[in-house]
Chains A and B, each alone.
Chain A
Amino acid sequence: MSVLRVVVTRSGGFAGLTATTEVDDPDEAERITEAVHRAAGSPAGNRRDDFVYEFTIVTTTETEHVELTGAQVPAEVRARLR
């Protein structure tokens, strides 16, 4: 199983706007997937007006959904949606 692509959607924040980006370079998608899985175990925080990040991770065998808060999301992912 290897990661083919990752779709990242950011919603919420004070402005409540939604932004999406797609990572389809397999190496980068793999790296982001690992960072997202690591971040999922970190504290979600209890912020109000935080961003919400949804990841759709498409591999050769399955499609996985992961949700992270702005407090959890890795900096390299945040930078892609700036």
Chain B
Amino acid sequence: MHCTLVPPYILQALARHQDPVVRDAAIATLGYDKTFAVSRLIGDRDIRAAVVTGRAPRLHRLIHDAQHEEDLPGALVRSEGEAPSTDVAVNEAYDGLGDTWKLYEDVFQRNSIDDAGMDLSGTVHFSQQYDNAYWDGQQMVFGDGDGVLFNRFTISVDVIGHELTHGVTGATADLAYKNQSGALNESISDVFGSLVKQYALGQSAEEADWLIGAGLLAEDVHGVALRSMKAPGTAYDDDRLGGKDPQPAHIRDYLRTTSDNGGVHTNSGIPNHAFYLAAVGLGGNAWEQAGHVWYDALTGGELQPTATFPQFAQLTVATADRLYGAAAKKAVAEAWTGVGIVTS
């Protein structure tokens, strides 16, 4: 049960406000319950349509604390609009989900995970010495790390963007989490996770570090991050992590394994590097042309859940051609050629 603190008649007035920021916030609040009873109050057909279809941008974060146990979602510790906590992990989760929501809304006009204003729910302090973060189908979960090899998993905004993007993929192409389609699923999460960071920092494709999990490795671990989209295979080299970053940057080095659902976190290096090459080839900010091509391929309805690397590559090339013309098509095709995947 949610409470509305602002009376509906004030929200009605705000919903007709000329400033789009004010208007959208009011519509989002009115749309909270998505009932006709509320929307009828507004009296404006366009606004009602926006409320009913969920087009009113709605950012609603709910941060929970598992208190080192494993019951989800745990205790609610910070809701949308509330003041910062004294707990850094809580604030990182809140801010990181906000940055991710903003990329999707501003750049791709996607209204949260389900494009209908879904709550963004995250839980911090999950379990004990937990070296992981995951998406459970409903929400994001972040461990604190063990403190020796890994820091807390909220430390890197691209990790938060990665997890939320698993929700977006689940709501769209729903790439099967195994072998090549699984590695594409992982790569999509790294791509949009990195774009969250680049967009928040205002960095061009040339300026960005293209690292996934920068800051996540503890201080004396030999490495800069968990993955590098610019140079897969170079993010770390430490015996305590099993040696060197194993990610391939080319299809000839594709890892055949039954572990990790067929190496989904390893082989993602190949499409990750293709995205990097496409972004640099297209130039400017990666979230512009390259980001739109990948987003359209993911959400456009043509991508099959069992897609292979070549099928996804072909779709991005066709999408680049359709959205931006022959030069963009050529740049994306060359990016895939750079990782050993030939398109037509």
Give the CA-CA distance A46 to B137 in the complex, in Å.
Answer: 6
Give the CA-CA distance A70 to B143 in the complex, in Å.
Answer: 13
Contacts of A12 in B (CB 8 A): 259-261, 264-265
- Count the A residues whose beta carbon is within 8 Å of the partner chain — how many? 21
Closest to A46 in B: B137
Q: State whether A14 and B242 are in contact (beta carbons under 8 Å apart), knowing that A52-B259, A82-B129 are contacts in the complex.
A: no
CB distance from A74 to the nearest CB of B (A): 12
| Contact across chains for B137 and A17 when beta carbons are under 8 A apart | no
CB distance from B153 to the nearest CB of A (A): 7
Chain B at the A interface: mostly helix, strand, loop or mixed? mixed
Closest to A49 in B: B134
Q: Is B136 at the interface (CB under 8 A from chain A)? A: yes
Q: Is B150 at the interface (CB under 8 A from chain A)? A: yes
Give the CA-CA distance A6 to B264 in the complex, in Å.
Answer: 25
| Contact across chains for B134 and A15 when beta carbons are under 8 A apart | no
Q: Is B27 at the interface (CB under 8 A from chain A)? A: no
| Contact across chains for A82 and B146 when beta carbons are under 8 A apart | yes
| Contact across chains for B259 and A15 when beta carbons are under 8 A apart | no
Q: Is B254 at the interface (CB under 8 A from chain A)? A: no
Closest to B257 in A: A11
| Contact across chains for B134 and A50 when beta carbons are under 8 A apart | yes
Q: Is B55 at the interface (CB under 8 A from chain A)? A: no
Q: Is A31 at the interface (CB under 8 A from chain B)? A: no
| Contact across chains for A15 and B261 when beta carbons are under 8 A apart | no
| Contact across chains for B137 and A54 when beta carbons are under 8 A apart | no
| Contact across chains for B163 and A49 when beta carbons are under 8 A apart | yes
Closest to A78 in B: B127
Closest to B133 in A: A14
Contact with B along A5-30 (1 / 0, CB 8 A): 00001011111111100000000000
Closest to A69 in B: B261
Give the CA-CA distance A82 to B189 in the complex, in Å.
Answer: 25
8 smallest beta-carbon distances between A and B, as pairs: A16-B265, A11-B259, A48-B166, A12-B260, A49-B134, A11-B260, A48-B135, A13-B132
Instruction: List 10 A–B pairs whose Cβ atoms lie within 8 Å, in order of A's numbering.
Output: A13-B132, A14-B132, A14-B134, A14-B226, A47-B134, A47-B136, A48-B135, A48-B185, A48-B189, A54-B259
Given A17-B242, A49-B166, 5 other A-B contacts at CB below 8 A?
A11-B259, A46-B137, A49-B134, A49-B163, A50-B132
